[in-house]
A and B are shown apart, each in its own frame.
Chain A
Amino acid sequence: MADPIQQFEIKKFVTLGHIGGHEIAFTNSALFMVIAVATISLLMLGTTGRRALVPGRMQSLAELSYEFVADTLKSSAGTEGMKFFPFVFTLFMFILTVNMIGLIPGTFTVTSHIVVTAVLALLVFFTVIIYGVYKNGFRFLKLFVPSGIPIYILPLIVFIEVLSFLSRPISHSVRLFANMLAGHITLKVFAGFVTMLGGMGVFGWLGATLPLALTVGLTALEFLVAFLQAYVFTILTCIYLNDALHPGH
């Protein structure tokens, strides 16, 4: 049976150089990041060149993505949140595309590595802190002091608020990483059962139908998860950005 962990291995194609003792290489992960950027650019730029008043299918898809992310951002962070629209849109499309491409057999899932999701989560985390302090100054700290709390439990509440704020990048990144990792391992394990049982003669073939059916079902589920996790990451980003824009809620 194939090792279900093997699919997450980073394979070096070309070593490009070293930065501070760390090897920088063009890897399969880098390749799929580039493919994702190319795919998104093709969708958003290649299909909108005609600027058709009545859009074709692909232009509709580009407009749909635009309006979906814009509505998500507006509903959680308000109209002021639209200044972060390019950032949130890039984040959503990048995660969605690498998740979806990762479901094609034989490909690599960029978001199944904690370092990638952690960097994206920290990017959001520091954007919130820097913009929050820049825009609100000292009032940004009101985020940790909810109004209408009795003074004697306030220290506890503030402690919990600070703790939950600091743990945001962890939950933000681990949620996406773990979902991608676990989903792909599960798929590989069940698909592995099919090949394993398939090699055991007629009874094996009969027995293999169950994991095969499960694999088909799980693949559908994984497509849902791939979209849902990209959406969850995005909507959490919007909620965090809302804190930077309007602290004290």
Chain B
Amino acid sequence: MATSAHTEVPGGGKPQFPPFNKDTFASQLVWLAITFVLLYLLMSRLALPRVGGIIAARSGQIADDLAEAQRLKEETETAIAAYDKTMADARANAQAIAAKTRDKLMAEAEERRKSVEGRLNQKLEEAEKTIAATKAAAMSNVAGIATEAASSIVERLIGTAPAEKVVADAVADSLKR
């Protein structure tokens, strides 16, 4: 190899084109091997796992954060739905209670009205009976008073008391008219 390096130089004294100078090849190859293998080991053992880990950790963190945000959003939605449901239930409950109370009060009022009415009717009936009785009594009194008055009037006019029966008949007769 060393001999061919000498023969290739054209014109003898002129320096060889450096990239084709075979004398330097061995050094370049040795150092290329050393540095390339060293770099390969540094990259594959240390640098790339570390950088890859950083990138993976970041994308993992982003995915986790997004999942967490999604979870919180769902939680919020659940809470809102629960709140809405509670509100609707409470409203329905309130309406039910109001309706029940109203019905109960109306029923009580109705009952009281009926009992009051019943009592009033009873009193009315009693009053009517009393009136009828009083009326009958009064009527009988009227007949007695009218008969006495008629007897007295006739006695004064004619001087003699008429027969009680005749006067009573006449009074009854005129009362009927």
A interface list, Cβ under 8 A from B: 5, 8-10, 12, 19, 21-27, 29-30, 33-34, 36-37, 40-41, 44-45, 48, 51-53, 55, 59, 62-63, 66-67, 85-87, 89-90, 93-94, 110, 112-116, 119-120, 177, 181
- In whole angstroms, what is the CA distance A34 to B18 when docked? 20
- In whole angstroms, what is the CA distance A100 to B11 when docked? 35
How many B residues, CB 8 Å from partner? Answer: 37
Interface residues of B in 40-57 (CB under 8 A from A): 40, 42-44, 46-48, 50-55, 57
Given contacts A29-B31, A93-B39, contact A51 B50 (CB under 8 A): yes
- In whole angstroms, what is the CA distance A114 to B23 when docked? 13
Known: A5-B18, A10-B27, A48-B47. 12 other contacts (CB 8 A): A23-B26, A27-B28, A29-B24, A29-B27, A33-B35, A37-B42, A40-B42, A44-B46, A90-B40, A93-B43, A94-B39, A115-B19
Chain A residues contacting B38 (CB-CB under 8 Å) are 37
Which of B2, B24, B28, B51 has a CB less than 8 Å from the CB of A21?
A: B2
Interface string of B119-143 (1 = CB under 8 A from A): 0000000000000000000000000
Chain B residues contacting A23 (CB-CB under 8 Å) are 23, 26-27
Chain A residues contacting B44 (CB-CB under 8 Å) are 86-87, 90
Which of A8, A24, A48, A120 has a CB less than 8 Å from the CB of B51?
A: A48
Chain A residues contacting B29 (CB-CB under 8 Å) are 115, 119
A171 CB → nearest B CB, Å: 17
Q: What's the dominant secondary structure at chain B's contact region?
A: helix
In the complex, whether B83 has a CB less than 8 A from a CB of chain A is: no
Q: When the two chains form their complex, are residues A30 and B31 in contact, meaning their CB atoms are under 8 A apart?
A: yes
Q: When the two chains form their complex, are residues B27 and A27 in contact, meaning their CB atoms are under 8 A apart?
A: yes
Given contacts A8-B19, A112-B19, contact A27 B31 (CB under 8 A): yes
Chain A residues contacting B20 (CB-CB under 8 Å) are 114
Chain A residues contacting B61 (CB-CB under 8 Å) are 53
- Could you say which of B23, B36, B46, B53 has the most chain A C-beta atoms within 10 Å of its C-beta? B36
Q: Which residue of A lies closest to B52 (CB)?
A: A66
Chain A residues contacting B24 (CB-CB under 8 Å) are 10, 27, 29, 113, 115
Chain A residues contacting B48 (CB-CB under 8 Å) are 44, 66, 85-86, 89
Q: When the two chains form their complex, are residues A119 and B32 in contact, meaning their CB atoms are under 8 A apart?
A: yes
- In whole angstroms, what is the CA distance A59 to B20 when docked? 40
